[in-house]
Amino acid sequence: MSLTVLDHPLAKHYLTVLRDKGTMPEEFRSAARRLCYFLTLEATRDLPVNERPVETPLEATTGFETSKVVAIAVLRAGLGLLDAVIDLIPYVKVGFAGVQRNEETAEPIEYYFKPPDLERATVLVLEPMLATGGSLSWAIGKAKASGASRITALCVVAAPKGVARIEREHPDVRIVVAALDRDLNDHFYIRPGLGDMGDRLFGTT
């Protein structure tokens, strides 16, 4: 497993907006989308491309087009990252992974998984909060069982415990994250974190 932590002034700015408890849902959604542009660009840095001929107004030259990409949004919070991925990646296909956390054990409870064809695709799993790693590990496992072999996880903040779990259970998966935070509290929330991302995205706090 490889871990990449973003180091860009604008990414730090948008992350700070997300951390601020005074940020309202509309601004929170906007900041999440803008931050995800940076996550997506980093996650696709080594995306395979195919050459194709193209005619400019002056002459023929060689152009490039991206290979197959599938984004899998882990519900609900992953929806906050999806628009940026769709904006940036041509012809991206989208799947959804429905999972909720058992509040006592922090383990995932599956209720929905619907991916497009994952064979020969670069798969981006959108899971903003990497806390214990249970939900992300489950989503990665489901993607692999459906044919995915090239997977990168996009996260906003991560805790060391979650990173260690992914490294242990899915050492072939890359993680791109805006911040590696300190630890988890007794309720398995990331500290300093940004609270419950799903609630803050949709105003359900």
Of 20, 45, 105, 191, catalytic:
105
**Which residue's entry shows tokens 């940036």?**
88
Q: Is 199 a catalytic residue?
A: yes
Between CA 78 and CA 67 the distance in angstroms is 23
Q: Quick one: average pLDDT of 61-68?
A: 96
Q: Is 196 a catalytic residue?
A: yes
Tell me if residue 198 falls in helix, strand or coil: helix
Between CA 145 and CA 140 the distance in angstroms is 9
**pLDDT tens digits, 82-108:** 999 999 999 999 999 998 877 677 677
Q: Is 45 a catalytic residue?
A: no
- Cβ pair 152, 124 in contact under 8 A: yes
Of 4, 33, 66, 196, catalytic:
196
Tell me if residue 15 falls in helix, strand or coil: helix
- The single-letter DSSP state of residue 70 is E
Closest by Cα among 66, 70, 47 to 116: 70
Please tell us whether the domain made up of 2-47+67-202 is placed in CATH 3.40.50.2020.
yes
Q: What is the pTM of this model?
A: 0.93
Between CA 171 and CA 163 the distance in angstroms is 10
**pLDDT tens digits, 132-165:** 999 999 999 999 999 999 999 999 999 999 999 9
Concatenate the DSSP letters of all residues of 125-141 into one string: EE-SEESSSHHHHHHHH
Domain boundaries, the chain: 2-47+67-202
**pLDDT tens digits, 149-205:** 999 999 999 999 999 999 999 999 999 999 999 999 999 999 999 999 999 999 997
- Cβ pair 81, 154 in contact under 8 A: yes
